[in-house]
Amino acid sequence: MLDLSIVPHAIGGVSRYLLSVARALKEVAQEEEIEFSTLDVPAVHPGVPGPSVDCIELRTPFYLKIPFLRRIPIRRKWELCSRSRRIKQIAENCSIFHHSGVQPEFPANSRSVITVYDLSALEHPEWHTGETVAFAEREAKMIRNGSRVVAISEWTAKQVSAYFDIDPESICVAGGAADDIFIPGEPSADTLKKLDLKNGEYLLHVGHLVPRKNIPFLIDIYYRARERGLRFPLVMVGSSAWGNISIEHDSNVRIIDNINDRILVDLYRGARVLLYPSSYEGLGLPALEALACNTPVIAANTTALTETVGDRGMLLSPDDPEAWIQALLMLKDAGKMAELRSMAEGAQLENWRDVAKRLCGFYRRINES
């Protein structure tokens, strides 16, 4: 059973990753004759819609729905204390319970599995909200108490192994992929016209404006490159989440928020390049999505991005502004652009079924051990 209760809380890559994994697992598990289901616990996201996939729903106890009387059960954590028992009632034969975050409860007869995206909330708590740090500390406690680990990249697996002193062979490296909608093609002329963009004549960044995305660095090197003749606008897809990062955007820097995947595909396809100078990534889904659309990528040579991008794009130090400025100025050169495009077009990428197959194999090994 895969618990998707974190999806209503998650933003950006975590939510996208989980929903994609859940859909692929439903398909692959059926083929491999594994009983698989997803779970939502509405009590952990009151008033917020649940995941956009079919889930078994753990009903919220009636006493939490009575305005004045619910104060006592909330204070005494009645719902949390009874959650494991109630989950067992709806998943009596559940042998593997795969947590996605937020809530730590699982049936006493099940084996606990946790997906770790990265350790940034533990290693750099200053980058996150107090709530996110609390979730990370809760998961860390579960890992120390014996929960098995799924990592989304080799780099994350190595970090987990070192941080918790766990045998790396016991960690499942699931990997990641771009959704099927992200494929090469021409961008919609209507989409670009509405956004006042020209095909191949803008730079793109995808990711929320949070500290680890290195946004101030990106803005700095972009404007410094403009001072040396760069004329392509910078389009930033994402919203401010935490960290008090703000951008004074003008006609050169445009921020786009709340778009659907269809528009995002058009933005990838029409971009001259995806810029991804993030200083800390457990995977880097936007890089995979861009490469799946044959969009050239320039990314930081740090953390999991060296693994995700590899030789399929250009990797630069996020501490070397001059290297990035030179790379941006290079984008005016047709020959250099042809080299970048050939790197992206030759990329060999996995899909979510590959990820789901690795997870199913991991579930079997845990169940048989």
Distance separating alpha carbons of residues 169 and 48, to the nearest angstrom: 38
The verdict on 164 and 93 lying in the same domain is yes
The verdict on 96 and 124 lying in the same domain is yes
The verdict on 133 and 194 lying in the same domain is no
Q: Measured over all CA atoms, what is the biggest interatomic distance in the chain, rounded to whole angstroms?
A: 70
- The pLDDT, as a whole number, for residue 239 is 78
Q: Using alpha carbons only, give the angle 365, 55, 137 rounded to the nearest 5 degrees.
A: 65
Q: How far apart are the first and last CA of the chain?
A: 18
The verdict on 217 and 296 lying in the same domain is yes
Q: Are 153 and 238 in contact (CB under 8 A)?
A: no
- The pLDDT, as a whole number, for residue 244 is 65
Distance separating alpha carbons of residues 103 and 4, to the nearest angstrom: 10
- Indicate whether this model's pTM tops 0.85: yes
- The pLDDT, as a whole number, for residue 92 is 79
CB 190: neighbour CB atoms within 10 A? 9
Low-confidence ranges of the chain (pLDDT < 70): 11, 102, 241-246, 249
The verdict on 154 and 35 lying in the same domain is yes
Name which of 146, 185, 198, 153 is nearest 167 in CA terms. Answer: 146
Backbone dihedral angles phi then psi of residue 298, each to the nearest 5 degrees: -120, 120
Strands 38-40 and 297-300: unpaired
The verdict on 127 and 204 lying in the same domain is no
Q: Is residue 184 part of a domain?
A: no
DSSP H or E stretch at residue 273: strand 273-276
Q: Is residue 193 part of a domain?
A: yes
The verdict on 165 and 313 lying in the same domain is no
Distance separating alpha carbons of residues 101 and 46, to the nearest angstrom: 16
Distance separating alpha carbons of residues 138 and 114, to the nearest angstrom: 11
- The pLDDT, as a whole number, for residue 251 is 81
Distance separating alpha carbons of residues 48 and 70, to the nearest angstrom: 18
Q: Are 298 and 316 in contact (CB under 8 A)?
A: yes
- The pLDDT, as a whole number, for residue 219 is 94
As a 3-state breakdown, the chain gives helix, strand, coil percent values, each rounded to 5, of 45, 15, 40
Q: DSSP 3-state assignment of 304?
A: coil
What six digits make up the tokens of 338? 């042809």
In CATH, what number is assigned to the domain containing residue 83?
3.40.50
Distance separating alpha carbons of residues 119 and 171, to the nearest angstrom: 15
Q: Is residue 201 part of a domain?
A: yes
The verdict on 239 and 364 lying in the same domain is no
Q: Is residue 182 part of a domain?
A: no
Q: Is residue 183 part of a domain?
A: no
The verdict on 87 and 142 lying in the same domain is yes
Distance separating alpha carbons of residues 87 and 271, to the nearest angstrom: 46
Q: DSSP 3-state assignment of 242?
A: coil
Scored b (16 or more CB within 10 A) or e, 141-165 reads: ebbeeebbbbbbbbbbbebbbeeee
Tally of domains in the chain: 2
- Please give the residue range of the domain that contains residue 230: 189-345
Strand partners, 57: 40
In CATH, what number is assigned to the domain containing residue 193?
3.40.50.2000
Name which of 111, 137, 114, 95 is nearest 3 in CA terms. Answer: 114
Q: Are 18 and 7 in contact (CB under 8 A)?
A: yes
The verdict on 260 and 331 lying in the same domain is yes
The verdict on 164 and 244 lying in the same domain is no
Distance separating alpha carbons of residues 52 and 34, to the nearest angstrom: 22
Q: Is residue 224 part of a domain?
A: yes
Q: Which amino acid is at 363?
A: Y
The verdict on 6 and 77 lying in the same domain is yes
